[in-house]
């Protein structure tokens, strides 16, 4: 029973069906009928005109976006535990041509205006220190915390004051919104976000993410950068069709709710052990080595997360009985 991550789960059957249904000759790259619908579909969803680009991975979505927001000789402010810093093999350095990630601390991988302002103040304003050009946050964070729209907006205001462009890594944005019930518009462009990586792969997609531009003036640049990075699939319809299937009837939100519900079941059983409140589909538990071993012996797989902690991640298709068994096992520790 795997609680390693949501990133290797099966894709939803509707996604697989959409891939099969789109399997016919059409215009190459993003000229096909599915790709051509993306801008419209996302514009509806975000309640304003946006430009949407499919890509195959979250790393590509994040780093294409960041490259458009930050020139090679400037910096991107993010949390020390941000995925772009910790788990993307230095991809931001590659895509931006050597821009610097300026790292901030903060509980639960969450940034606040105060933290960001202090981070900016710590940089001497001269040519010797790398001046920041962008701010990047992850929602939900790498520790499963959620930014409310008002929190994003506060960061957006600060970004504007400081002349920073604003990027959101939304690999688990669906999970965040499933919790808050807020709108995509409120948590993104209305809060000042310029570019959003909107994740589907962890949430029932197969290999499709959407890079959403609220600053639509960046779209020509992104189109070229996507090609130049080898991310312009010739049969791009396979990605577009997945995304459209995920949007259809709000599947993306249903899936996220299912994953979050499973996480809450586990959270209820683990209350005293929680390192952070469970606001999405990730749980970090204080568990001794001996206890972790006991869980493993019962067939549960998960990551250790530093000494005395484990990480559990639920998925859109987390098996109900496996979740219940794990909840019981945790309660019985």
Site for a second copy in 250-309 (CB under 8 A): none
Residue 18 or 155 with smaller CB distance to a second copy: 18
Cβ proximity to a second copy: between 52 and 60 the closer is 60
Contact region for a second copy (CB under 8 A) — 35-43, 51-59, 144-152, 182-190?
51-59
**Distance, first Cα to last Cα, the chain:** 18
- C-alpha distances in Å from residue 167, one per residue of 1, 32, 98: 35, 28, 18
Query: H or E stretch including 94?
Result: helix 91-96
Residue 249 burial (C-beta neighbours within 10 Å; 0-12, 13-18, 19+): exposed
Pairing of the two strands 100-104 and 303-304: unpaired
Question: Which has the closest alpha carbon to 317: 250, 251, 248, 243?
Answer: 251
Does 221 participate in binding a second copy (rule CB under 8 A)? yes
Residue number, 142 or 182, with CB nearest to a second copy: 142
Burial class of residue 63, CB neighbours in 10 A (0-12, 13-18, 19+): buried
For a second copy, which residue of 183, 207, 265, 309 counts as binding (CB under 8 A)?
A: 207
Do residues 302 and 310 touch, judged by C-beta distance below 8 A? yes
Please tell me the distance from the alpha carbon of residue 201 to that of residue 54, in angstroms, as a whole number: 12
Pairing of strands 132-138, 100-104: unpaired
Total site size for a second copy, rule CB under 8 A: 72
Which of 48, 130, 261, 276 touches a second copy (CB under 8 A)? 130
Binding pattern to a second copy, positions 238-257, x when CB under 8 A? xx------------------
Lookup: tokens for 314: 């639920």
Q: Can residue 4 be called a binding residue for a second copy (CB under 8 A)?
A: yes
What does the alpha-carbon distance between residue 218 and residue 23 come to, in Å, rounded to a whole number? 30
Is 202 a binder of a second copy (CB under 8 A)? yes
**List 52, 56, 240, 244, residue binding a second copy (CB under 8 A):** 56
Q: Is 99 in the site for a second copy (CB under 8 A)?
A: yes
State the minimum distance, in angstroms, from the CB of residue 315 to a second copy: 8
Give the nearer residue to a second copy in terms of CB position, either 64 or 267. Answer: 64
Q: Does residue 71 interact with a second copy by CB under 8 A?
A: yes
Q: Which stretch binds a second copy (CB under 8 A): 3-11, 40-48, 185-193, 243-251?
A: 3-11
- Kindly state the tokens that stand for 307: 């000494």
């Amino acid at each position: 029973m795997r609680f390693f991550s949501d990133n290797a789960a099966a894709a939803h059957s509707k996604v697989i069906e959409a891939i099969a249904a789109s399997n016919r000759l059409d215009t190459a790259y993003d000229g096909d009928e599915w790709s051509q619908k993306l801008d419209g579909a996302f514009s509806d969803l975000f309640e304003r005109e946006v430009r949407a680009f499919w890509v195959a991975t979250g790393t590509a979505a994040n780093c294409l976006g960041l490259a458009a927001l930050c020139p090679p000789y400037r910096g991107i402010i993010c949390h020390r535990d941000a995925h772009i810093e910790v788990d993307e093999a230095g991809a931001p350095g590659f895509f931006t041509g050597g821009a610097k990630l300026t790292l901030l601390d903060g509980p639960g991988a969450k940034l606040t205006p105060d933290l960001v302002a202090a981070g900016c103040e710590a940089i001497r304003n001269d040519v010797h220190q790398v001046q920041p050009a962008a701010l990047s946050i992850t929602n939900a964070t790498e520790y499963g915390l959620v930014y409310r729209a008002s929190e994003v907006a506060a960061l957006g205001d600060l970004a504007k004051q400081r002349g920073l462009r604003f990027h959101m890594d939304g690999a688990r944005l669906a999970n965040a919104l499933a919790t808050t019930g807020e709108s995509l518009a409120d948590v993104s462009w209305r809060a000042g976000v310029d570019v959003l990586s909107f994740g589907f792969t962890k949430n029932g997609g197969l290999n499709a993410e959407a890079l959403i531009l609220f600053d639509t003036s960046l779209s020509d640049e992104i189109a070229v950068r996507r090609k130049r990075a080898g991310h312009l699939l010739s049969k791009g319809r396979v990605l577009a069709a997945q995304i459209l299937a995920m949007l259809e009837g709000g599947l993306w939100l249903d899936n996220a709710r299912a994953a979050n519900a499973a996480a809450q079941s586990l959270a209820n059983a683990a209350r005293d052990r929680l390192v952070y409140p469970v606001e999405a589909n990730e749980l970090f538990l204080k568990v001794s080595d001996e206890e972790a071993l006991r869980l493993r012996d019962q067939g549960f797989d998960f990551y250790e997360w530093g000494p005395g902690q484990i990480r559990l991640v639920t998925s859109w298709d987390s098996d109900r009985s496996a979740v219940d068994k794990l909840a019981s096992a945790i309660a019985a520790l």
